[in-house]
Structure 1
Amino acid sequence: MQSTPASLPATTPLSPALTLLLATATGLAVASIYYVQPLLGLLSTELGVGSAAIGLLPTLTQLGYAAAILLLSPLGDRYDRRRIIVVKAAALVGALGFAALAPGFAALCVASVAIGLMATLAQDLVPAAATLAPEAERGKRVGQVMTGLLLGILLSRVASGSLAALAGWRAVYGAAAVAVALLIPLLWRGLPRFVPAASGSYGSLLASMAGLWMRHAPLRRAALAQGLLSVAFSAFWSTLALVLAGPEFGQGSAVAGAFGLAGAAGALAAPLAGGIADRRGPQAVIRVGALLVFIAFAAEAVAPASLWLLVAVAVVFDLGVQAALVSHQSVVYSLDAASRSRLNAVLVSVMFVGMASGAALGSALLASIGWRAVPALGAVAALGALVVARRR
């Protein structure tokens, strides 16, 4: 695998308008993964599919996303990233449109896989922002684009549920397809041409990710630390609705959905954390972020049951997780300008493993021990991330 030192003309600026475009496109891309979650009950009834089978739809979407992170995202180092972004956006429009017109459950399963594959457009847009940003502002600009991603996750469920209630589930996919389609000409005109930063075959491109893992100790630390924080993050959010419905809180699904607004704190803090990382170095922000996650979960594990404490925990730990993520991205993107797409793929892949592990462990602990075991798990995972972050 050969690399070329430059990936862009030095004269290409990352203007506020282009930053906004990248953030918007990133948010709409990642939102495509989550539109289905509030629709499952409606889809189960309309398509005549049982509750167990209908759960295949979000699972297939996530599996498609995970596969594409490893198999498609690295292509951004080998080919013009603008072309990849536009092609993926067009394919995402097609997948969303097919979902809107799907004649039955089997077709919707196929569409779900395709949506997951193409939604990794988000993982091409973030490295594009890192490449375009001036080195002194990379953390801040990446944080601004990450705000779009986080708001996409946060608002997708609200938008999907509200639109489906008014116009049906097909309107959700149709509107999403139109929204992404409107961005395609803006992305083609707004983005510069990216000169490929690496050469070689597709196989060597994939194999080189193992080499990047072995060669860069900061990549290993960043991926492991963020993966542990993802365990805590996923354990909380995957069990929250059940915890709130339990005897300690006695709350319904509406309250569980409202907890998603706590994610706004992390989304809005992403550019701030990136700016601090630019000025004072990312390691300090990472350690503070992991410490916030530990304090939040440790307090929840030992304090008396309180809905307001649970809200505060959600705000504080989400802030810590997102601050650490933006700072870890700043570290990773600075390692090798010719390998940013592959570096990002490695980081996100380990995060995905952490998310899956957190969901499984959180659910198992909740069922076998009780709800306090979930924040205890989060505290232990955050402590592990803090230990990893302090290593040199």
Structure 2
Amino acid sequence: MNESSLKSESTTSSLSRTLVWLMAIISGLVVANNYYNQPLLALIADELRVSESAAGKISVLTQIGYALGLLLVVPLGDKLLRKRLILIDLILVIAALLWMTFARELWMLYAASLLIGATSVIPQLFVPIAAQLSSDQEKSANIGLVMSGLLLGILLSRFFGGIVGELWGWRSMFGIAAGLMVFVWIIVYKMLPEMHPNFSGSYKQLMLSLARLAKTQPVLQLASFRGAMAFGSMSALFTTLVFHMEQPPFNVGASVVGSFGLAGAAGALAAAKVGKVQSYLGTNRTIFYSLLVLIGSWGFTYFAGATYWGLIAGVVLVDLGVQASHIMNQTSYFALKLDAVNRLNTVYMVSYFIGGSLGTWLASIAWQYAQWDGVCAVGVLFGLLGMVAHLLFSKRVGAGLQ
């Protein structure tokens, strides 16, 4: 199978700071499409007169769609011209957001949410670019910056989604998002350089090579499981936070819940410096402490979950732990000497968002039967599973990591 007969002409070029920032900002704007719905679920449930559990499936389907997009679209970054792929994908994003804006039936919202997730995968085409064009010394820092833009987009989308939803209704948020994607399309067209493919085989061969990477790369396998568990833990928190805060003692609406994204932004910004921590502690120890922070965050969320300060502390720490471990996971598998950066990232990110979907689904069930206590149990369980896997296998598979 020919995986690298076409050598990327861009691999010898340098990565400017301007381009890194551009990719970080666009990543945040695009990935936000997947998370506007979370603080709006209660408003959607009220308007359509459906249960909170039924509305919660919108978030689940968005994450499932994202996983499908990662699996089916992102590998094409190794086969097709990436700029052209991104521009075509953005047109599909805009169409999906407009459908969400004007949908009147629950099934339409489900379908539109699935499509929004499947098409909002552009950030995962940027991360391999940052890894591929960076020197070994700058790789963690550049990946961290792009991923910080992505995570800030996730967190701030909840803040803006909540405010816009309360002021003008939940539909207006998706209409505004469609307008933002038109702006992003113009910026990408004018400013993003082209990167040439490094895979000349068929799409079937591309997908077969993806499966082979998943089966034969232990570093990638462990990183994927850790990432899935960490993101599942965070998803459990943010999917049900709006339902928790609608009840006493808070009795607040979507705008207040969305503002917790600002608190999480502090954790995201702090995690962007994780590359410096890695230079002192090494990759495996940095991941260990990141997962420890993630698990510890649930102590605040559970024991002080009836207070604002407890929830704020929990949100800051969960975002710090997830983002720091995420950057280190990606650094670990991008260090593999393989000419398949998009496919490596596909395996990891598909696992990552499957974990997020599972966390969202189990948290919705836990909320239905055990309310906030059940949600906290789900969050802790995911964090512990990630930690156990790391302790059991990190030294065995990461001998080449510092």
Give the AA of the match of 2:50: G
Q: For residue 271 of structure 1, report the CA deviation from its aligned partner.
A: 2.3
Report the counterpart of residue 72 of structure 2 in structure 1: 71
Q: Contact 1:95–1:111 at 8 Å: present in 2 too? A: yes
Q: Contact 1:235–1:378 at 8 Å: present in 2 too? A: no
Which moved further from structure 2: 20-29 or 233-242?
A: 233-242
For each residue in 1:58-109, what CA deviation from the matched residue of structure 2 results, as whole angstroms up to 9, or x when unmatched?
A: 3433332221111111111111112111211122123223433446655544
Q: Contact 2:66–2:118 at 8 Å: present in 1 too? A: yes
Q: Are residues 1:324 and 2:325 paired?
A: yes
Report the counterpart of residue 218 of structure 1 in structure 2: 219
How far apart are the structure 2 equivalents of 1:301 and 1:167? Answer: 33
| Aligned counterpart in structure 2 of residue 391 of structure 1, from 382, 389, 395 | 395
SS of residue in 1 equivalent to 2:10: coil
Q: Are residues 1:201 and 2:202 paired?
A: yes
Give the AA of the match of 1:250: P
Mapping for residues 81-92 of structure 1, pairs under 5 Å: 81-92=82-93
Give the AA of the match of 1:220: Q
Structure 1 unaligned segments of length 5 or more: list them. Answer: none
Q: Contact 2:298–2:379 at 8 Å: present in 1 too? A: yes
Q: Contact 1:269–1:322 at 8 Å: present in 2 too? A: no
Mapping for residues 273-288 of structure 1, pairs under 5 Å: 273-277=274-278, 281-288=282-289
SS of residue in 2 equivalent to 1:195: coil
Mapping for residues 103-252 of structure 1, pairs under 5 Å: 107-241=108-242, 250-252=249-251
How far apart are the structure 2 equivalents of 1:97 and 1:242? Answer: 27
Residues matched between the structures, number: 389
SS of residue in 2 equivalent to 1:338: coil
For each residue in 1:242-297, what CA deviation from the matched residue of structure 2 results, as whole angstroms up to 9, or x when unmatched?
A: 55567xx7223455444333321232023211344367643232122122223444
Q: Contact 2:359–2:378 at 8 Å: present in 1 too? A: no
How far apart are the structure 2 equivalents of 1:336 and 1:149? Answer: 25
Report the counterpart of residue 377 of structure 1 in structure 2: 381
Change (3 A) 1:42 1:307: closer
Q: For residue 381 of structure 1, report the CA deviation from its aligned partner.
A: 2.8
Give the AA of the match of 1:115: I
How far apart are the structure 1 equivalents of 2:157 and 2:55? Answer: 19
Give the AA of the match of 1:197: N
Change (3 A) 1:169 1:260: closer
Mapping for residues 282-361 of structure 1, pairs under 5 Å: 282-297=283-298, 308-361=309-362
Change (3 A) 1:197 1:290: same
Give the AA of the match of 1:140: A
Report the counterpart of residue 15 of structure 2 in structure 1: 14
Which moved further from structure 2: 176-185 or 363-372?
A: 363-372
How far apart are the structure 2 equivalents of 1:132 and 1:295? Answer: 36
Change (3 A) 1:207 1:312: same
Q: Contact 2:161–2:258 at 8 Å: present in 1 too? A: no
Identity %: 35
Q: Contact 1:291–1:386 at 8 Å: present in 2 too? A: no
Q: Contact 2:230–2:383 at 8 Å: present in 1 too? A: no
Q: For residue 187 of structure 1, report the CA deviation from its aligned partner.
A: 1.6
How far apart are the structure 1 equivalents of 2:61 and 2:358? Answer: 17
Change (3 A) 1:266 1:292: same
Q: For residue 170 of structure 1, report the CA deviation from its aligned partner.
A: 4.1
Change (3 A) 1:149 1:328: same
For each residue in 1:8-46, what CA deviation from the matched residue of structure 2 results, as whole angstroms up to 9, or x when unmatched?
A: 434533222211211111111111112233444544555
Tell me the TM-score normalized by structure 1.
0.86
SS of residue in 2 equivalent to 1:199: coil
Report the counterpart of residue 400 of structure 2 in structure 1: none
Q: Contact 1:228–1:384 at 8 Å: present in 2 too? A: no
For each residue in 1:92-141, what CA deviation from the matched residue of structure 2 results, as whole angstroms up to 9, or x when unmatched?
A: 12322343344665554443332222111222122222223233211111
Tell me the TM-score normalized by structure 2.
0.84
Change (3 A) 1:388 1:237: farther
Change (3 A) 1:12 1:174: farther
Report the counterpart of residue 3 of structure 1 in structure 2: 3
Which moved further from structure 2: 202-211 or 9-18?
A: 9-18
Change (3 A) 1:231 1:203: same
Which moved further from structure 2: 109-118 or 149-158?
A: 109-118
For each residue in 1:137-179, what CA deviation from the matched residue of structure 2 results, as whole angstroms up to 9, or x when unmatched?
A: 1111111111111111111122223234444444322321221
